[in-house]
Amino acid sequence: MNEENVEKVNESELTIPIERSIRAELLLLLGQRPSHGYELIQRLNEADFKSGEADAATVYRNLRRMDKEGLIKSHWEVGESGPGRRLYKLTPQGEASLKVWAKYIAQQKAKIENFLQAYFQFEESLTEGEGGVNLT
């Protein structure tokens, strides 16, 4: 495997698929306030918690799926001075799903913290010279 391929493999291993977390992110944004897709894409890309650049196709596809699953509901809102757009709102089922997501993310956070703690101990042991782990 050449150097370029190694870089590609590492990048893909380190990237959490945006499709997985975007549902939680959209549910949270809709919990904060009802929005249409255009605004949601803008809010998502401005959010501190975004997991990557959210493109229009991904956002609209996930909104349609969650609408069909009953996690959100939508209706057409007539624009006062601009175009009418589909307005999305969180449903009680969506709120419950968001709670499950928050619990899952908290568990993942604890796991990551444990991993980092163990890693830093390992890194420290390497710098302790002769007492470090032999990597060969």
Partner 1 sequence: MIASQKTLRIIYAAVLQQVMEKCQERFLIQNSGLKFELIGVGSREGAKRLLSGEKYDIIALADQALFAELLAPDLVEHYFVFAADQIVIAYNHSSRGSKEITQENWVDTLLKPQVSFARSDHHLVPRGYRTLMVWQLAEIFYDRPGLYSTMEAACLPYSTYPKSLDLSRALFKGEVDYAFLYSSEAKQLGLPYIVLPAKINLSNPAYANYYDQAFVTVESKIPGKNVIIHGNPIEFAVGLAKDSQHSELAQSFVDLLTGPEGSLIIDQCGLIPC
Burial letters 10-32, b for 16+ CB under 10 A, else e: eeeeeeeebeebbbbbbbbbbee
Q: Is 84 in the site for partner 1 (CB under 8 A)?
A: yes
**Contacts with partner 1, 32-71, as mask; x by CB under 8 A:** -----xxx-xx-xxx------xxxxx--xx--x-------
Total residues in contact with partner 1, by rule CB under 8 A? 24
**Is 21 near partner 1 (CB under 8 A)?**
no
For residue 35, give the DSSP letter: E
Contacting residues toward partner 1, per CB under 8 A: 37-39, 41-42, 44-46, 53-57, 60-61, 64, 76, 78-79, 82-86
